[in-house]
Amino acid sequence: MDSSSETSNNYTEDAQVLDSLLTKVHKIIIEYLNEGQNGTGKTLNYLSPKNLISKISPEVPQNGSGEKGYDETISSGLTCPGGSASNTLALVVARNKYFPYVTEYGLCLSDDEKKEVDYKTPVVFTSIHSHYSVDKAVIMLGIGKRNLIAVKCDESGKMDPDALENAVIKAIKENRRPFFVNATAGTTVLGQFDPLEKIGEICRKYDMWFHIDGSLGGSVMFCENERRVLLKGSELANSFTFNPHKMLGVPLQCSFLLVRDGLDEIRNRVALKANYLFHRSEDMDEDDPSSWDIGDSTVGCGRKPDSLKMWLSWRYYGTEGFSNRVSNALLCANRFSELIKERNDKYELFRYPVSNLVSFWYIPKCLRSTCKPDIFTESQKCYPEELAEVTKKICDLVNSKGEILLDYASVTLHEGETPVRVPEFFRIPFNSPIVDENYLEKIINEIEVCGKEIYGEQ
Ligand SMILES: Cc1ncc(COP(=O)(O)O)c(C=O)c1O
């Protein structure tokens, strides 16, 4: 790993170059506006987005998001204000596709209307470890939490595809209509990747929209090896949420909803064709500037140009730069887990990291005989609740000192059908490219200093 001084110098230089790049773009935009002004300087002539784009030559590397990749000539995407919004838009699009009458009737239909449209209750599936934005979206769209099936995960935190298929079959037998499965690529707490290929096949078999929430882990698409393993099957997905504002470090907020079958998948289900603003017509030549306007495909109207941030960062760091950044995050998580393992009298690693997240407990001396590591073995499935308080107390003290910022989380695992609560553990997401071996040691030291302050002898 780089030494901290070398790394911080590199990044200071990087920041300066990026800053000058931003200044140049700023200048181009001001020129664009000035050029667009007519003689009086009071109004703007319309300059096409294409005209602007020709000035900033936006070549971006093309990268498929699955093992085989989406078809770059067809697939497309839109920026949304965050991963929650991208997931919500995916659900809106899928709902409007499978229940086209909903835009007219809503979901509160009379008995006669239900017969008319052959109404079936819409059902959504997601894993118990998925992000709460899926629950929120289901509530906002009037589908209702009762119709959101939380599919159990295996011991490692991956969605159990057999449990998914059984839940789908059950819903069909109940005369409901399963239509949307959310799989997660990088779960919020454990950083786990659901088995995308199997889930994709189930979606095909039962004709359901396959969405992948890659808000956290989607960025591994920039690392060849991880992409092939962790995102295998993502090419089957109808839509994919990708948050460059997380692991790629693009300034908040920057999130994309990528769609396999092109923007019309979204446009046809969402756009209201408000022609007083959007002048695009079906037969419009793609050279016509109005055809570039994709504004009515999102829930919002006016929006920030979030894609510019992604484009600038990508041009500056390059695919290799992004790849290095993600690899470093994964390496840090692995190295940190090793450091925890080396001190396994004081710590218990909850899970080996799959991506950039490490989950572990600190065990003070007074609890070491009762909260021994073997208590966590697969067969016993007993997680001592006392560790929740230890984690929270140390976390609060570390954070109050202001040197580093820590967080904690808890999860529910399944032993067969029985849910088992795993008490609060430290959850560290590695992301910053300037984190190095020294910094990893510093985190451990801070935890130990605070552990000693609270619990005495180490
Ligand atoms: C898996 C997952 N999905 C969605 C989100 C929400 O993303 P945002 O905060 O950009 O709305 C998060 C945030 O942590 C996440 O971890």
Q: Which CATH number fits domain 63-270: 3.40.640.10, 3.40.50.1100, 2.40.30.10, 3.40.250.10?
A: 3.40.640.10
| Residue 429 phi, psi dihedral angles, 5° rounding | -90, 120
CA of 229 to the centre of ligand 1 (A): 22
CA of 133 to the centre of ligand 1 (A): 7
Question: What per-residue confidence (pLDDT) applies to 163?
Answer: 96
Asked whether 216 lines ligand 1 (CB < 6 A), one says yes
Question: What per-residue confidence (pLDDT) applies to 9?
Answer: 52
Q: How far separated are the first and last CA of the chain, in Å rounded?
A: 29
Burial class (CB in 10 A: 0-12, 13-18, 19+), 159: buried
Structure token digits, residue 89:
């838009």
pLDDT along the chain (458 residues), means of 10: 41 61 64 54 48 49 51 80 96 96 91 94 97 97 96 92 98 98 97 97 98 96 91 94 94 92 87 79 68 78 84 86 94 96 88 94 86 56 84 97 94 80 94 92 95 87
**Whole-prediction pTM value?**
0.86
Q: Could you give the C-alpha distances from 335 to 154, 328, 343, 442, in angstroms and in order?
A: 25, 10, 13, 13
pLDDT in tens, 158-214: 999 999 999 999 999 999 999 999 999 999 999 999 999 999 999 999 999 999 999
pLDDT in tens, 382-413: 678 889 999 999 999 999 999 999 999 999 88
Output the CA torsion sign for 163, 165, 166, 170. Answer: positive
Going by CA atoms, what residue is nearest to atom 5 of ligand 1? 83
Atom of ligand 1 at shortest distance to CA of 84? 11
pLDDT in tens, 89-112: 999 999 999 999 999 999 889 999
In whole angstroms, give the CA distance from residue 73 to residue 287.
16
Asked whether 126 lines ligand 1 (CB < 6 A), one says no
In whole angstroms, give the CA distance from residue 451 to residue 241.
39
Going by CA atoms, what residue is nearest to atom 4 of ligand 1? 83
Question: What per-residue confidence (pLDDT) applies to 406?
Answer: 95
According to the CATH classification, is domain 320-455 in 3.90.1150.170?
Answer: yes
